[in-house]
Amino acid sequence: MLKLLSSSSRHLHTHFSSPCLRVAAESAPPAPLLRALGSIAGLTRRGEARTGSRQRLFFCSDSSGGKGGGTLVEVEVKSGDAEADGGVDVTSSSSALMPTNPRPEDYLTVLALPLLHRPLFPGFYMPIYVKDPKLLAALQESKKRQAPYAGAFLVKDEPGTDPSMVSGSESEKSIYDLKGKDLYNRLHEVGTLAQITNIQGDQVILVGHRRLRITEMVDEDPLTVKVDHLKEKPFNKDDDVIKATSFEVISTLRDVLKASSLWRDHVQTYTQHMGDFNFPRLADFGAAICGANKLQCQEVLEELDVYKRLKLTLELVKKEMEISKIQESIAKAIEEKISGEQRRYLLNEQLKAIKKELGLEADDKTTLTAKFRERIEPSRDKIPAHVLQVIEEELTKLQLLEASSSEFNVTRNYLDWLTALPWGNYSDENFDVLRAQKILDEDHYGLTDVKERILEFIAVGKLRGKSQGKIICLSGPPGVGKTSIGRSIARALNRKFYRFSVGGLGDVAEIKGHRRTYIGAMPGKMVQCLKSVGTANPLVLIDEIDKLGRGHAGDPASALLELLDPEQNANFLDHYLDVPIDLSKVLFVCTANVIDMIPNPLLDRMEVIAIAGYITDEKMHIARDYLEKATREACGINPEQVEVTDAALLALIENYCREAGVRNLQKQIEKIYRKIALQLVRKGALIESSVSSEQSDELKEEGAETSTDSAKSGSTKQDNETAEEAEIIQSDGSADQTDSSLNEPSDTKDVKESEKIEESEVTKSVEKVLVDTSNLPDFVGKPVFHAERIYDRTPVGVVMGLAWTAMGGSTLYIETTNVEQGEGKGALHLTGQLGEVMKESAQIAHTVARGILLEKEPENPFFANSKLHLHVPAGATPKDGPSAGCTMITSLLSLAMKKPVRNDLAMTGEVTLTGKILPIGGVKEKAIAARRSDVKTIIFPSANRRDFDELAPNVKEGLDVHFVDDYSQIFDLAFGYDEKDEK
């Protein structure tokens, strides 16, 4: 450690005028600064002092203006003779000093060497690179002539640049390109006389001697300048301020040296090349080894006042001390963080080893194995033998694998899936038919045929004691409740419910799973279902099965065959698990909009239950009992705040929501209630603002009356109290009425209470919103649909037909008119965007109508001599299907016989060339369409009698249905009436 001696007991070492090495005598104590710097150097050379070996020290000549000439001398010092406090005992000889001629101060003209980054201080060496070949040659020539001296000058920064920023390679290159006067103008005036000690290639080693000042330029290439040798200004070496400043510099250097090993190397190098240590050299030493920028160092170099130089150096080393503290704190924080993590890791590893040794904890593989065995233990008896064998083999394989291998993760995931499946775990089913009936009626209105089929399934399960998985396909238009029916069935049977949609599915692996060798492999949907529900007999709803896709990864429809076939799914094989799974107890419910889109092999394995949709009465009940209630609760509206009349609901259904489902009806009801909620909020805000303003006005008036009465009474005390109460009432209009009416009579209170009751009643009456047919368009806009019956009395050549659409059933007119009459001009023209089947039906109808007219009126040549135009309205809508044949025949015959058909008649049916009526589809939808159009008489093919008989009573109610086999029966029904009665 550095030991500073008191200035009162020691004297600073005096300079000799001769530039020779000064060797201390044994009797004279070493100089304090020399001892201090020796102890600084001793921080890094303690180990060397104990070895007793010899060292070679290089000393530079004094720069204080001595007249002797000596530049660099070599002295051998025995390290074992060094004093403990850093003093140096040097044994010199007459040959230790090698003076050189000429002396350094004789050099008044020197080569100018530009320094880019830092100035060169006396007593320090600096390697530089000389890129100019002429300058390098001149330096080599000077060294050969035994005049190895040059001037080292710092280069000024370019104007407008920040000196604190480090210059890049481009700026250095631009400085190397400077020549002659340009370079001369960029050099600082004060520099250092440098001795050229070594030249290797373009690297030149310089050692600083003394300060120089440029006076003028002598030569441009290479740059040669005239210089003046500078000396420090005279100073009092016994000045206490200078001593204190120097000792503070040394003390700060000592603190910095403790934290920075890089500075220790600087001290050791400097003390090896420095002989006499004094105040000026101490200042140069501190500035040279600190990390200050080049302008601050140049300022120290240019300062000739020793005290000012020491102060500048003290500022620099103090800054360096702060930087060292910051560096130490950063290093300490990082070290603590790293050491803390390492310590935690080592402790955790030791804890694992101790627990493993004591048997308190097993390794990861043992823990995983125990977890998998614990999973399968409760149901080990129910797991099939082949599955147990696979699990045991995989567990054995897991123990042999390294935890870091990829195969270990594959095996672990495989065991995770294999042991998580509910092998033999079935939920207890509820076969109570009455309970199931109640649940189905709670969730859905109507759908009698669907509910009967579910109750049949439950009844069979109750008689057998167990249920067998079936595949039910619910087909029908969107919004009729197919998906919600599946959820209700699961609730009625007390089964777990799982739904997944296969709409647009194009990858077989979604159903059958991936192979385990693939990256990111997963089991199929059924395995995921079983793991999710935890039972082996859930109800699985496969949604949108008619929208299966077919991509490059196979045909999912074919993959579903194994899943849905009751003969195969008892041994369903998933590609990921690769073991058979029993799915025979799973109840599959599929949904589809159109069964024609389902592949026939897949459709053959399903039991199709068609849901035609809801009639108007059913939609009314659904809207009242389900949709309106749920929407009212969702919007936060009380039942007493709104009333939607039956007429409004009926108009909403007939004119806005004619589709088979109720999804659009739900949207319209939500739209109505949202607008009602906005109206209620707006009215409530207006009422609140009006009531508050009225209350404030009344309170102000009462306060004024109270103050007037109190003034008349002549009581000063009552005046003050009344005034205070009036101020309180005026400042807070929402205060408690009890406080504001303390001095009021009871009659006034009764009047106010009655007024409040009346206000609340008025508010309730105002808040209630009534929705009827008059203001329904204000909530849902203009009607979308109009009355399908466009004729009060059906004209000649027009007949109403019944059609099936994706939105349910619909009525449409078929119209025929005579375009041109003439001998042999019989022809038929068709319009209405008809499909190929309807075009063929029109040709068949034309042929059959000609035959019937010939039979009924042999002398009528209408078809032979008339060019006819048959049109089906709504020409923008594509139409196709075979069930319009009998309607077209009736329209042609009505025009030919000039006799209209009955007003309340609608018909449907396919006709052959012989006049036979073939069966049609969509019986329920066409019956619903007939009721919607106020049709009383319907003609159906006899083959559809059973379909009509199975319809719900509310669908058949009020309809007069006639079933026919031949068109002759239709002819009698359409035209066999008395015209007088019809009128």
Could you give the angle at the alpha carbon of 867 between the alpha carbons of 863 and 869, nearest 5°?
105
DSSP code for 87:
-
- Which of 547, 500, 550 has the alpha carbon at shortest distance from 523? 500
Would the annotation count 29 as a binding residue? no
Would the annotation count 661 as a binding residue? no
DSSP code for 122:
T
**883 a catalytic residue:** yes
Would the annotation count 478 as a binding residue? yes
Report which secondary-structure segment, H or E, holds 216: strand 203-219
Would the annotation count 936 as a binding residue? no
Helix ranges (H only) for 610-645 are 616-622, 628-635
Catalytic residue among 243, 512, 525, 926: 926
Would the annotation count 482 as a binding residue? yes
Query: CB-based contacts of 307: which residues, under 8 Å, 6+ apart?
Result: 235, 239, 241, 242, 245
Per DSSP (E only), the strands in 83-140 are 109-115, 125-129
Give the integer Cα–Cα distance in Å for 210 and 71: 11
- Which of 117, 172, 431 has the alpha carbon at shortest distance from 296? 117
3-state secondary structure 549-568: CCECEECHHHHHHHHHCCCC
**167 a catalytic residue:** no
Q: Does residue 882 contact residue 806 with C-beta atoms inside 8 Å?
A: no
Would the annotation count 80 as a binding residue? no
Judged by DSSP in three states, 805 sits in: strand
Q: Does residue 21 contact residue 75 with C-beta atoms inside 8 Å?
A: yes
Give the integer Cα–Cα distance in Å for 405 and 364: 14
User: Which residues partner with 212 through β-bridges?
Assistant: 191, 229
Query: CB-based contacts of 447: which residues, under 8 Å, 6+ apart?
Result: 481, 485, 611
Could you give the angle at the alpha carbon of 974 between the alpha carbons of 973 and 977, nearest 5°?
75
Would the annotation count 616 as a binding residue? no
In whole angstroms, how far apart are CA 367 and each of 352, 390, 557?
A: 13, 19, 42
Report which secondary-structure segment, H or E, holds 770: strand 769-771
Report the b/e string of 342-378 with b at 16+ CB within 10 A: eeeeeeeeeeeeeeeeeeeeeeebeebbeebeebbee
Report the b/e string of 802-828 with b at 16+ CB within 10 A: bbbbebbbbbbbbbbbbeeeeeeebeb
Could you give the angle at the alpha carbon of 397 between the alpha carbons of 391 and 403, nearest 5°?
120
Query: CB-based contacts of 651: which residues, under 8 Å, 6+ apart?
Result: 773, 776, 783
Judged by DSSP in three states, 930 sits in: helix
Give the integer Cα–Cα distance in Å for 616 and 647: 12
Give the integer Cα–Cα distance in Å for 401 and 408: 6
Query: CB-based contacts of 310: which residues, under 8 Å, 6+ apart?
Result: 242, 245, 246, 249, 279, 282, 283
Other C-beta atoms lying within 10 Å of the C-beta of residue 446: 22
Q: Does residue 73 contact residue 95 with C-beta atoms inside 8 Å?
A: no
Give the integer Cα–Cα distance in Å for 391 and 477: 47
Catalytic residue among 710, 883, 891, 933: 883
Pairing assessment for the beta strands 642-644 and 769-771 based on DSSP bridges: parallel
Q: Which amino acid is at 583?
A: L
Would the annotation count 479 as a binding residue? yes
Query: CB-based contacts of 583: which residues, under 8 Å, 6+ apart?
Result: 469, 526, 563, 569, 570, 572
Known binding residues = 476-483
Known binding residues for ATP = 476-483
Residues annotated as catalytic are: 883, 926
